[in-house]
Amino acid sequence: MPILNSIISLVNHRRLTQIDEFKSRPADVQRNQLFDLLEKAEHTAIGKEFNFNTIKTISEFQRRVPIRNYESLEPEINRVRKGEKSILWGEDIKWFAKSSGTTSSKSKYIPVSKSSLEECHYKGGKDVLAIYNQLYPENEMFKGKGLTLGGSQQLNQFRNDSFDGDLSAILIGNLPFWVNLIRTPEQSIALMDKWEEKLVKITETTINENVTSLTGVPSWFLVLIKHMLEVTGKDNLLDIWPNLELFIHGGINFAPYREQYKKLIPSSKMHYLETYNASEGFFAIQDDPTSSSMLLMLDYGIFYEFIPMSELEKENPLALTIDEVELNTNYAIIITTNGGLWRYRIGDTVQFTSKYPHKIIISGRTKHFINAFGEELIIENSDTAIQHACQQSNAVIKDYSAAPMYMSTEDKGKHQWIIEFEKEPDNFELFSQSLDQKLQDVNSDYEAKRYNDITLDFPLIQKGRSNLFIDWLKLHDKLGGQNKVPRLSNNRKIIEELETLNNK
């Protein structure tokens, strides 16, 4: 083991011991997180409204404090954005993570406190490195620099001492000075807001660096990598960065991109670790490279609750704590955080694949699904089916989106898919059949609706032209950062916009 790695292992030993503790005592650790949050916020406006100082049990907290979504919390967040203090959290909050949005064009501004920066997001980043060093003690990542592909930030429209922007930009903009010595590109380039210009600058300034790790969203990194290879004339990324060994990724399912990365980075020494780091908090880390599950991090100043999807639309839904969840069940996540979010519904759904330790997979979104005909199709289903169809037909995708086509007097309902391929299928009919059959294999509701074409006809699967999805993002001013086109929609707004662009 290199001497540097030995030193890092010693430094990380205490933290890894703490991780082992919440693996074995999740309920105790989570309870402590909640009451620490309540104590710190008891003098805020929300703390006084719900009398945080008199809450003695988790069930009392759940009875007293309502579950909120962004729309119901927005008035308080806007007060914070305008400079009011002690509304949701005791600190003066100067950073707001601007959500890339989902099916709504309305932007969300998630408060990011100093506590959530240091005790959640940065702590998560350090834990990723600690876990990686534990998994691969002979690694040489720390001999080079890390390249983080982030978004941009701008002044808060209400104040001149506050900023809105992508979470990645907020994290980069607040890093300790010493971290900038081991990362690239320089901050001024990393925070550029014009995506095309940023591509050029990153390429110019990093091709001669010793880059050993990458951090970002897989789809956007593919754009950067291909731009670099085109500019340099190289065959693969190792010709530019021969010591590259780690990609820390998140934001979208990596499975449809895995084969492309293997070709672009052809090395058995290349490692991939997934993280679940959202605007609202850093939630989970892949700690076993042989499994797609991620370890839920329970001591980041976040208290978790989980609502079974069957309960979600009820007036008083059943919210479970970490010790009450079951395996292989879809749950909507509710979080209470050190950023001032109280029983906040973030819109993601997860399934637990393990308990003690508690590990999860992201199964979809509460609003990113197709359920126009009772088929209850979620992102996990569609990503699995796309990956399978690509394997069967030797195809590689860049991106996709799907939506329902509603029944008419002449036609049954069906799903419409628009798929942009990196490499088109050898046999498009085989690809389409494989996609439909795999959806039936992994989703019994879809299978029932497809049985003998009784309710759902065979899906309409269309090829998207080159750069279709980038053009959609450009149209909506969402190039770069963590932005992405929603892959499943329960209405036709996005698919019709894509159709229009596809015909131009």
- Identify whether the C-beta of residue 344 lies closer than 8 Å to the C-beta of residue 66: no
Write the DSSP symbol of residue 206: H
Q: Domain for residue 108, yes or no?
A: no
Percentage of the chain surpassing pLDDT 90? Answer: 68
Q: Is residue 102 part of a domain?
A: no
Say whether both 142 and 266 belong to one domain.
Answer: yes
Q: Are residues 399 and 471 in the same domain?
A: yes
What is the band of 2 on the pLDDT scale with cuts at 50, 70, 90? low
Q: What is the pTM for the complete model shown?
A: 0.81
DSSP string, 458-496: PPEEEEEPTTHHHHHHHHTT--STT----SB-SSSHHHH
Q: What is the pLDDT of residues 411-440, one digit of tens each?
A: 788 999 999 999 999 999 999 999 999 999
Look at residues 320, 343, 365 and tell me which one is the last residue of a structural domain: 365
Same domain for 169 and 131, yes or no, is yes
Report yes or no on 316 lying in a domain.
yes
Helix locations, 25-176, DSSP H: 26-40, 45-49, 58-64, 70-81, 114-116, 122-135, 167-173
261 and 339 share a domain? no
Residues 130 and 274 in one domain: yes
**247, containing H or E segment:** strand 246-249
The tokens 């950067």 sit on which residue?
A: 224
Q: Is residue 248 part of a domain?
A: yes
Residues 361 and 374 grouped into a single domain? no
**What's the average model confidence in pLDDT over 56-77?**
95
Domain interval for residue 69 = 3-86+304-365
Q: Are residues 398 and 485 in the same domain?
A: yes
pLDDT band at 503 (very low <50, low <70, confident <90, very high): very high
pLDDT-derived band at 105 (thresholds 50, 70, 90) equals: very low
Strand partners, 344: 68, 335
- Average pLDDT in the chain: 90
φ/ψ of 232, rounded to 5, equals: -85, -15
The number of folded domains in the chain is 3
Q: Is residue 100 part of a domain?
A: no
User: 118 pLDDT exceeds 80?
Assistant: yes
Do 352 and 424 lie in a common domain? no
Q: Are residues 315 and 223 in the same domain?
A: no
Helices (H), 233-339: 258-264
